[in-house]
Amino acid sequence: MNILVTGAARGIGKAIALNLEGEIFATSRNEELLKCYKNYFVCDLAEDLEKLGEYIQENNIDVLINNAGEYIYSQIDRVDYLQIDRITKINLEAPLYLISKAVPYMKQRRWGRIINIGSISGVMGEACASLYSATKAGLIGASKALALELAEYGITVNTINPGWVETEMGNKSAEESEFSKDEIIECIPQKRFITPEEIAGMVKYLISDEAKGVTGQSINLCAGLSVGY
């Protein structure tokens, strides 16, 4: 398997890339952090998307993991057009474009795996994070539609929706929130943040042959957060 992971420099993406077996192709904006991989491509998804699409085609990627994303915590009347444009490009437009470039080879093989890392915010909504919630909800909808479109070719498409995750981004989001991390944990049924390794484990299952019948699913990996409190 030739596996491409976006946002692989740290956090969830790094955990995924380091826990999978196959030829790993890692992408991120941070070249220094990518040097731990044999195959890497430095890019900003808001600016270098077409180049990354060419890289995908050149390397016959048959497992695509769209992990890279950005988060904005702000009231809607305080965001500007550039913020809306950038988060939409990175969180929604980029995954769709990369899928479009990976699918021809997958169709040729009549096998492929596409996993989009969404968010529980795209399932439930999150106050003061409407841009993030909207783009992640769009990713969930696109995954369902693509699962139907690509099923006959042996290609599965699924979304994993993490809740609060113990990463640099997760902790920064907690700091930007009006609630403390302890207060956030108190609202999570399991009273903990998810680990990146748990998400990596779910990815590993979804690309396996045992999961070939799992497609079009939106899987909430959130310590019970989506169920209620």
Dump pLDDT digits (tens) for 152-167: 999 999 999 999 898 8
Which residue has better confidence, 173 or 8? Answer: 8
Q: Is residue 196 part of a domain?
A: yes
Between residues 177 and 131, the one the model is more confident about: 131
Which of 132, 153, 205, 229 is catalytic? The answer is: 132
Considering the entire predicted model, what is its pTM? 0.93
Q: With respect to residue 229, please indicate whether it lies within any of the assigned structural domains.
A: no
Residue 226, in any domain of the structure:
no
Q: Which two tokens stand for residue 56?
A: 């995908």
Closest by CA position to 65, among listed 110, 106, 113, 100: 113
Give per-residue burial for 81-120: e unless 16+ CB within 10 Å, then b. eeebebbbbbbbbbbebbbebbbebbeeeebbbbbbbbbb
At residue 177, does pLDDT exceed 80?
A: no
Terminal C-alpha separation, the chain: 40
Mean pLDDT value of segment 68-76: 92
Say whether 132 is catalytic.
yes
Task: Give me the pLDDT at residue 229, please.
Answer: 60
Q: Which domain holds residue 213?
A: 2-221
Domains of the chain: total: 1
We report the CATH number of the domain holding residue 181 as 3.40.50.720
Q: How far is 6 from 104, CA to CA, in rounded Å?
A: 19
Residue 228 lies in a domain: no
What is the pLDDT confidence band of residue 187, given thresholds at 50, 70 and 90?
Answer: confident
- Give the residue-averaged pLDDT of 179-204: 90
User: In which band, very low, low, confident or very high, does the pLDDT at 180 lie, cut at 50, 70 and 90?
Assistant: confident
Could you give the CA distance from residue 105 to residue 59 in angstroms, rounded to a whole number?
Answer: 10
Identify whether the C-beta of residue 33 lies closer than 8 Å to the C-beta of residue 54.
no
User: If you average pLDDT over every residue of the chain, what do you get?
Assistant: 93
Instruction: Name the 3-class secondary structure at 219.
Output: strand
The answer, yes or no, to whether residue 100 has pLDDT greater than 80, is yes
Is the residue at 176 inside a domain? Answer: yes
